Structure 1
Amino acid sequence: MGKFSYSENLLIKKAIKGDHNALGKILRKNHAYIYKMAYIYIGNKDDALDIMQEATIQSMKSIHTLKEPDYFLTWFCTIMARQASKVINQKIKIRALQNTSEFEEPADLSKNTNQTIDVLEAVTSLEDKYRLTLQLYYYQDFSVKEISELLTVPEGTVKTNLKRGRDALKRALGEDYYV
């Protein structure tokens, strides 16, 4: 997303001062982008909507901490990433307790001519921890250190998840996908 228009900047400044209606308006104006990012973070519609809702609640509580209006979407997406991380960790715990493969997403990818669809399907088929790490690194341009702090995991774990996620994408898309 680029810079905000003058009217959007005014809405963000009003929101920072505590105007919840202004916050609602700016979120509605950017709903499509926010939903897309939430979906990429979590990989399914229901969870994406849940993390959007939780992020909205969190943003209402902490909007006063936003210093630069131009970074509103980055700030909001960071909140969503934290929510996604919580959901993913809960899912991991549930899977460990149930110890079944019933909840695993199928790795079957349809071969589309559209490269974007291929990549999106491959990314959404990844394990949650790999998908979230790759999304933060490549789509949100977070550094390894920033991802480590955001997800409260060691930098080595972030690097490992990036490597394993890339390897899984390479396997899903094929060795010569970009050649």
Structure 2
Amino acid sequence: MGKFTYSELLLIKKAIKGDTKALGKILRKNHEYIYKMAYIYIGNKEDALDIMQEATIQSMSSIHTLKEPSYFLTWFCTIMARQASKVIKQKIQIRELQNSPEFEEEADLEKNENQAIDVLESVMNLEDKYRLILQLFYYQGFSVKEISELLTMPEGTVKTNLKRGREALRKVLGEDYYV
């Protein structure tokens, strides 16, 4: 994905100039890819559809900021990633509110909450190829083989990107997050 035909590039250019019908057409043409990415970001159908909808709304008001039409999908997926991050943060907050704080000291809860947010933010700031693989492996529980099949890439590439993604997180977060 990412290579557009001449007619698709014309649609994107029209969308940048404010043509919402052109934006709708290019989104429909790439719906399958966009849905797959949304699902990878968030891990379930309902939330994936929600972040796609929110990203579509946001893209309508900010499409004029897209400088290079050939980067449309990257730009759109970045908007979805931000939406996914918000949804994940909300889910973390809801889970923490649902957990009984009587069994843990308040300082420990705050530390765990901050660590979870730090890790999530760090993962969201990684390069796409590392972020997607880490999310699929750790957050969605996919095996290396399943990730390889889902992303249509060799298992060796998945393993390499998984290792490099972990190393990038380790550099950002430090060793104490990997106890």
Normalising to structure 1: TM-score of the pair?
Answer: 0.61
How many aligned residue pairs are there?
126
CA-based RMSD of the aligned residues comes to 3.3
Q: Which residue of 2 aligns with 1:9?
A: 9
Q: Which residue of 2 aligns with 1:94?
A: 94
Normalising to structure 2: TM-score of the pair?
Answer: 0.61
Contact 1:41 1:132 in 2 (8 A): no
Q: Which residue of 2 aligns with 1:68?
A: 68
Q: Which runs of 5+ in 2 are unaligned?
A: 101-115, 133-167
Amino acid paired to 2:40: I
TM alignment of 1:1-179, pairs within 5 A: 1-99=1-99, 133=123, 137-139=127-129, 159-160=172-173
Distance in structure 2 (CA, Å) of the matches to 1:158 and 1:45:
33
1:17-72 residue CA offsets vs partner (Å, 9 max, x unmatched)? 00000000000000010000000000001000000000000000100000000000
Q: Which runs of 5+ in 1 are unaligned?
A: 101-126, 143-154, 168-179
Larger Rg belongs to: 2
Task: Report sequence identity in percent.
Answer: 71
Contact 2:122 2:172 in 1 (8 A): no
SS at match of 2:67: coil
Distance in structure 1 (CA, Å) of the matches to 2:14 and 2:171:
36
Structure in which a larger fraction of residues adopt helix:
2
SS at match of 1:2: coil
